[in-house]
């Protein structure tokens, strides 16, 4: 069996999604990439979480062609492939239809950075990428979704590991990280700060985003070259 360790990591990461309340039924997936060996492992399409195992994770090459596995990979695989190709620094990707993230996607709004909880993980607003065109939807839909995300980051000059998440208009959130654990962590934080932002606007519809100086302080103390938050070797 190919890449058993990668399969196990991807299985464990997928099982975290229901644990954190990010998925209902089969509405989500995690993948990870082994760039040295040239493989991606991803959740199989439409399989319930209680039926998953490390062995039924689907293994593909870096173009998304199945190399091992009897099941179909997640239908979102082409989106993952586009992101892995565009951003060699990322190692894991999560997609969910989590309630709060989807709400902002359906509204077509960025998730604003209103405080330090958000700024600790995302260096600024979490962007909402544009809606796909009819041609994109009727073409290679999932691949085009990845391209729209990449286009949005290029347009805004964002770094993938500084803002490790996005929502796609009318669709939902994607997140990523240097590995699958970081991607899941970022997916959880995205959902939480989306909820916090909604509550904040309910309390004060005229609220303004956190001042840049505080945004800088909180993001850079955890992620900058002089970061001092946490313990040595701690990812978060």
Q: How far apart are CA 122 and CA 153, in angstroms?
A: 14
Q: Answer yes or no: are the C-beta atoms of 227 and 220 closer than 8 Å.
A: yes
Tokens of 229: 């938050």
229 is catalytic: yes
Reference 67, options 1, 142, 146; nearest CA is 1
For residue 97, the 8-state DSSP code is -
What is the CB neighbour count within 10 angstroms for residue 130?
16
Q: Answer yes or no: are the C-beta atoms of 113 and 124 closer than 8 Å.
A: yes
- Among residues 11, 110, 120, 123, the one annotated as catalytic is 120
Position of tokens 């493989």?
A: 39
Tokens of 192: 């939480």
120 is catalytic: yes
Q: Answer yes or no: are the C-beta atoms of 18 and 49 closer than 8 Å.
A: yes
Which runs of consecutive H residues, i.e. helices, occur in the chain? 4-19, 77-86, 99-107, 116-119, 134-138, 141-156, 180-203, 212-223
Reference 94, options 190, 21, 29, 7; nearest CA is 29
Q: Which residues are catalytic?
A: 120, 229
């Amino acid at each position: 069996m190919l890449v058993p360790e990668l399969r196990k990591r991807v299985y464990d990461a997928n099982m975290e999604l229901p644990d954190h309340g990010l998925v209902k039924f089969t509405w989500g997936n995690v993948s990870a990439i082994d760039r040295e060996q040239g493989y991606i492992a991803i959740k199989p399409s439409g399989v319930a979480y209680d039926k998953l195992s490390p062995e039924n994770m689907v293994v593909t090459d870096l173009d998304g062609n199945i190399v091992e596995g009897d099941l179909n990979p997640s239908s979102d695989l082409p989106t993952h492939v586009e992101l892995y190709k565009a951003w060699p620094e990322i190692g894991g990707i999560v997609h969910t239809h989590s309630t709060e993230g989807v709400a902002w996607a359906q509204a077509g709004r960025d998730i604003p950075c209103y405080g330090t909880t958000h700024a600790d993980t995302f260096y600024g607003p979490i962007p909402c990428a544009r809606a796909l065109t009819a041609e994109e939807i009727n073409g290679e839909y999932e691949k085009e979704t990845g391209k729209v995300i990449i286009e949005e980051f290029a347009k805004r000059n964002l770094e993938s590991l500084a803002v490790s998440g996005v929502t796609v208009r009318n669709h939902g959130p994607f997140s990523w990280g240097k590995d699958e654990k970081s991607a899941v962590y970022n997916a959880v934080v995205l959902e939480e700060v989306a909820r916090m932002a909604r509550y904040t606007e309910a309390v004060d519809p005229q609220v303004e985003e956190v001042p840049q100086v505080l945004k800088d302080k909180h993001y850079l103390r955890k992620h900058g070259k002089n970061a001092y938050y946490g313990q040595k070797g701690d990812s978060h």
